Amino acid sequence: MSYEPPFKITSKAINLISQISEKIGEIHNLENTAHSVHLRKKNRIKTIHSSLAIENNSLTIEQITAIIEGKRVLGSPTEIQEVKNAVQAYELLLTLNPYQEEDLLRAHRLMMNELVNRSGKYRKDGVGIFDGRNVVHVAPPADRVPFLISDLFQWLKDTDVHPLIKSSVFHYEFEFIHPFEDGNGRMGRLWQTVILKEWKPLFAWLPVETLIKEHQNEYYQALGLSDTNSDSTAFIEFMLSVLLNTIESILAAESKITVKITQKITVNQQKIIQAIKENPYITQEELAAAVGIARLNIIKNMKKLQEQRVITRVGADKNGYWRIEDEN
């Protein structure tokens, strides 16, 4: 008999799924512009920072950005290695198959490289999760891990429940099994994203981890409550709320940009802004061709946009890019 994780699809969960599905269609910045090379990069950095911060990594967003850019950073060698590993693992995200156990092990090998002895391999010892001196969760015996993970992946492949539900169930069950000696939280959160991006690719770029970090206590409470109840219903509802809040924060940022753009801005300036959203590295010559006006007029309009703090130049003239303000 195949394994069926215990959970209930509540009316609250159904309502959250409905809201998420509706709002996903309203997001434009993450899918339609080239876009957001810049915006995607910012969200990826936020994701890595938040996921590692949950695991007590103290490096700031600025330090993580510097590491990604190949700059030297003063900090714990272990924490710096965690960042480098996470960057490599998330670079693989779009190619990872959520239904292949081998891909999970490959991602863990990258995520925990030089941090643990058994990166990319399941634990060989028992493990307990502590809150201070109190044991809050005892994971299944190590010899059961390969079978439990295999059953979980088989369920993931076979189930016809909504991706938002099954990704949350997988996340909880994965944390319950705790298959690795370390890196289980990072991998559980990563794999939920891997599952969701198969449904809607924009999930690869949503900074869901940031909202989890902001509600870290509730995250662990939801895991604990699901342990107590012996099903993942509470955790499903929590994760759906986080996903909805993440999407709403993206939409709020888009709305803020749109309002700013439409205030006291000419048609040509709106065209310039749209071209920058599609390619932050666009040149003035390319803008002139895209907008259909002389380069001199492009320069004048961009100066006005800078004075109004609608756009900002980041970096040098040759290798820098344009940033639309409030694009977070």
**pLDDT 10s digits, 129-165:** 776 677 778 889 999 999 999 999 999 999 999 999 9
pLDDT of residue 223: 95
The yes-or-no verdict on residue 31 having pLDDT over 60 is no
- What is the reported pLDDT for 231? 96
Judged by average pLDDT, the poorest of 29-33, 103-107, 148-152, 278-282 is: 29-33
Q: Round the average pLDDT of the chain to a whole number and report it.
A: 89
pLDDT over 70 percentage in the chain: 91
* Phi, psi of 320, deg, nearest 5: -85, -170
pTM of the model: 0.78
Confidence at residue 39, expressed as pLDDT on a 0 to 100 scale? 72
Domains in the chain with CATH codes:
32-255 (1.10.3290.10), 263-324 (1.10.10.10)
Rounded CA-CA distance 176/198 in Å is 24
Please say if the pLDDT value at position 34 is more than 50. no
Token digits for 280?
């932050």
Between 163 and 328, name the one with better pLDDT.
163
Residue that has been written with the tokens 């895209």 in this structure: 290
Q: pLDDT tens across 218-232, in order? A: 999 999 999 999 999
Q: What is the DSSP string of 77-98?
A: HHHHHHHHHHHHHHHTGGG--T
For residue range 53-79, list pLDDT tens digits in order: 999 999 999 999 999 989 999 999 999
**pLDDT interval class at 256 (50, 70, 90):** low
In angstroms, the CA 168 to CA 93 distance is 18
